[in-house]
Amino acid sequence: MSEEGIVGTIGDIGAATRLGGKAIRTLFTSKFDRQAFVYQLDHLGVRSMAIASATAVFVGMVMTIQFGFFMEKYGAKEALGRVIGISEARELAPALTSLVVGSRIAAGMAAELGSMAVTEQIDAIRALGADPIRKLVVPRVVASMIVLPLIASVALLLGMSAALFIAHMSYGIPVPQFIGAALEGVTVQDYLSGLSKPPFFGFLIAVLGCHYGMSTRGGTEGVGRSTTKAVVVVSITVLVADALLTQLFVSI
């Protein structure tokens, strides 16, 4: 990476951190825009269910095929439900769903706010005496932190259902046996440790998406650059945050 790239990355980290701090402060000191929040719940949550569901189902199927092949080979296929359940609850449902859905969310935020930035709509909001962070950033951040855990919970259910189907059809594991092994292996701590990650991911995704959108310059070409940067940076950030949070929860 060149010197300019390093300086730009450090600048983006600082600007995104300031934006996140302002969003938290504005949330507790200003009137909350409920109408914008409800719209973002639909835009970020309901419209992301299709891609989240497809991801959960096919990942659950692939993981069951892969684990089942080797576990049957070594005579341990009875524990397949336990292995898939722990993997889905702790990692696959929360992290992979946040990665896929987060990329979609960040791209949408960057494109939408970037278009507003290059057409000077954000400047117009400031000129009218309104706070763009209250109207544009805070509803997106709060909605993202709420919808991602809900989507992850649905993804866990769909992933386990797909795994149950494949385990029964491909490896002849009875349904009660698979469910019993999964319930025996997955503890409340496993579920809570997995479900505790998406709110952090949601905050990071929304702040980064808003940052790259609101800092867009250079017309439609700039909107494209900002959208691409948002997707790349959010993907890397989710992976890094997942590693740190996993280590934290394991230590606890």
Tell me if 136 sits within 8 A of 126, measured CB to CB: no
Q: What is the CB-side half-sphere exposure of residue 55 using CA atoms within 13 A? A: 23
pLDDT digits (tens, 9 = 90+) for 165-179: 999 998 889 999 999
Cα 244 to Cα 30: distance, rounded to the nearest angstrom: 32
List, in sequence order, every beta strand (DSSP E) within the chain.
none
Residue 177 structural domain: 3-247
pTM for the model stands at 0.92
Q: What is the CB-side half-sphere exposure of residue 107 using CA atoms within 13 A? A: 12
Tell me if 158 sits within 8 A of 93, measured CB to CB: no
> What is the tally of structural domains in the chain?
1
Whether 52 has a pLDDT exceeding 60, the answer reads yes
Check residue 6 and give its pLDDT: 73
Instruction: Provide mean pLDDT across the span 111-123.
Output: 92
Residue 204 domain-assigned (yes or no): yes
Tell me if 94 sits within 8 A of 197, measured CB to CB: yes
Residue 8 domain-assigned (yes or no): yes
Residue 252 domain-assigned (yes or no): no
Instruction: Provide mean pLDDT across the span 27-54.
Output: 91
Residue 102 domain-assigned (yes or no): yes
Please report which confidence band the pLDDT of residue 231 belongs to, taking 50, 70 and 90 as the band edges. very high
Residue 157 domain-assigned (yes or no): yes
Residue 243 domain-assigned (yes or no): yes
Location of structure tokens 């000129």: 127
Check residue 185 and give its pLDDT: 85
Cα 109 to Cα 115: distance, rounded to the nearest angstrom: 10
